[in-house]
Structure 1
């Protein structure tokens, strides 16, 4: 089979032959020229997929002849009728030439007008590569530039005829084919070097991001906070009490989310598409889904695993523990339960051997069943020993008893060395003799790659098929959705239950109240040696502050709930990071609490702990909070690209009702119409997914997979709320490139609060000036409105820092 490159070259030969045989001079009008020549050049020769080409798209007062690329427009081509000949200077052949020299005088008028027209369309739609052609000649250039040079002052790649295209087909292919444009070859061909954005202030800081020092009080609180809020869940003697008192049911809709209830309600709606698997929520209004316990009894007979689906951190592990030790305690007391944790090791190389070895260890330690004990091995392989004794080698028993025993030992040794086979036989032996159901949980694989998750599902399926067990496996929804339709899981039928996150405020209230109860009752945790207690009045005071705020501080709960985005593990990490943070005045908080009996945590205090973590400066690599002002090109408008994308995704998602998902094509169309180019948009979308501002999923409803995006509470809250806070801007300006040199000099490494307030105001004014370059009409989000709110917050902080300077 020939490559698409070879096919394109052959198609060009055919086009040249056809054009010569059907030459009609200049009689073809534009439509016929496009039909006979240009369509074939783009589709057959340059191999642009027909589905990725859109013709006659509206662009201002004109129309784009060809917009090529999907989901984003990557190349714009202006078509002229065959009779419009581009009169090139004498001696100009295939190659790169200065555009100014090509369009001089009356003879250059037709090419000048065509290039000007397509440059306007390209700038309006944020598409850098563009071309003009009459079916015989082709001129390619960069029509939307970020370096301040007018497009017609640049250089162009010229092909004077179809024959020239054939002679230099490699040059044509590399610069104008679908794969060539995707590789941005034209930029280097015409010697256009894309300038990077200016370096942010952080690049000039010697100790960036630095390490924030803690005093002894903060260091102690940091350790004790983690002990009482996180480690308490791992203590065997407190497990049942913890699960009864702290468990928060999944599926309760947040009252603080910055996205619609519809999006929250349809969190896993993609899984219920036509021809998809049978999916049920694990819990309803009346508690545990009764089908789950019924399926547990039937799954072993049906020989299929039970899949528990939930996003990372929603509480799948806690649900399993609650199921085993509380909700279905009687059932599991009569069962052999093996829990394989794939999150406890970061060095797994063979997942299947991990399942086997962990199962063997747990049988030995939890059920006193050492399957490698000699007498146990003999009991398990009793049938094989009987067959051995009746066989030929068995006659050694009378002739040479010593040799017989050696052969018998070798037989059992080989059986034990087959770890998986011996384990399976051992489990069948235990089930038969102990008359217990066997239940296996494969958990925390969702923290690993999609490939690892698929491998574990296959292991779960094999175990369900061949072992006498009910097998549970936890997966991420997007992995299951994609793989069940087009990947490894597509050939399997599994029973599927979804686990939605609980309300973060409920989870936090219960967790802190439980920790406080333990601290007040004993001053120790059960796993401590008898003579060791935790003597910390400061920790108790701090936990009491948290307990009160988690009951009544709506702005704080809203921040945690939205930025956690359903990840309860992350929400808890926010709290433990706040306890003992070097960025808050812990002693002041405790003093006020002791004096007045309460302390309302200001939003900016908690926010600073999240923004900076253990660093002195904001570090985008370690902070859970995204920098929405980041840019990838020296284009000041790009500071607003991320909020615009997030707001558009939210508005479209909540309007259409398709579980909040918006096609990639619609987001590219929106942003390119604002003049942003493909690279800027792609960069922003990738960053948004990486920072959990957007969810992404392929849609498989009756067509080839198409990428879709959905706003998260993280993205909505960061855009709607955080952008207007001094604390957020104060952190982000260190990491944000400033394209205006005048303002770049004003953004310095300031440390005192009055200085930081002043530079934040400079940054706000700088952004106001960059916003003036954006077409502020019919947009889903406007910086001008956010700027007003930010100005008020900067003045509020300024009046505290320097009343005289900000008293207006």
Structure 2
């Protein structure tokens, strides 16, 4: 495979070999200059078709297999004239090029016509020393001739900016869609989902025998252990691994819980501490400051199925924030495994709260003291 350094060296030899003022016809231009630039400088050797005839005409060069670019060759004496001030630019708008030169306009329209008939996205015109490339087909709702083009106005210009022409017009560069990104400004939009690059997506795929066996073993050895209340706490303590962002989230969650409940239980516990958002050395919020500011808000943990939300919460309960949960009234309801088949979700949740308050925290909602506390204001009004 041709490398960038080899391509640039071959271009230098081509420039040195060309005599000034020569006027080659179209076939001579192709043989002496364009062939060398494409094969020896840009790496298209083995992926070039010449004089390919299809409906309404011959194409000079079709590049790629399958074809991805068409190059239309013109005689060396026909110069693609550029407007004043454009000679130092690589990206030039097509409309200006076509309005300034009839010769250039005809060549651009010709190669674009060939590309549209053959379904080829990249169009190139060249007289051997000058190269103009643009997108001949678009899917962004923009007219072809309202777009931009890549322009190299001489072989010396190509040599000076060889890294750019390699990225845009070499066989690797075109196949990596670098020209599309440069002219379409793809980076400015939202990237496509990776699934959009997959053929026949979505598609059902059945597990292999090995995958089925591994699934059965995992359910036997892991899922049953996790769902066993006697072993759950030890399993989480021994097997849960905190690292990176998870460790930070655990510490922050612990601090939020600590701030939220610190004033509700024992008098000797400290209330949330006020801390400055920034000091002379640091501009970052401390975890205590963040926890204090969030302590009056609900905490919502979002994530896809199977990413570890339940394990994260269980680890908070058994490991990271054990003391905070011991001083709190915790109700744990798993809607995935326990509430999925219920016909009335509201009744299910209320029933679960009542049962867990009684069985776990020894709180009976119908105790006289609790009832009297709940309806205290109504009782006082009634007494009056």
**TM-score of the two chains, using structure 1 as the length reference:** 0.24
When Rg is computed on C-alpha atoms for both structures, the one with the higher figure is: 2
Quick one: higher RCO (CA 8 Å, sep 6+), 1 or 2?
1
**TM-score of the two chains, using structure 2 as the length reference:** 0.48
- Hey, which of these two has a bigger chunk of helix by percent? 1
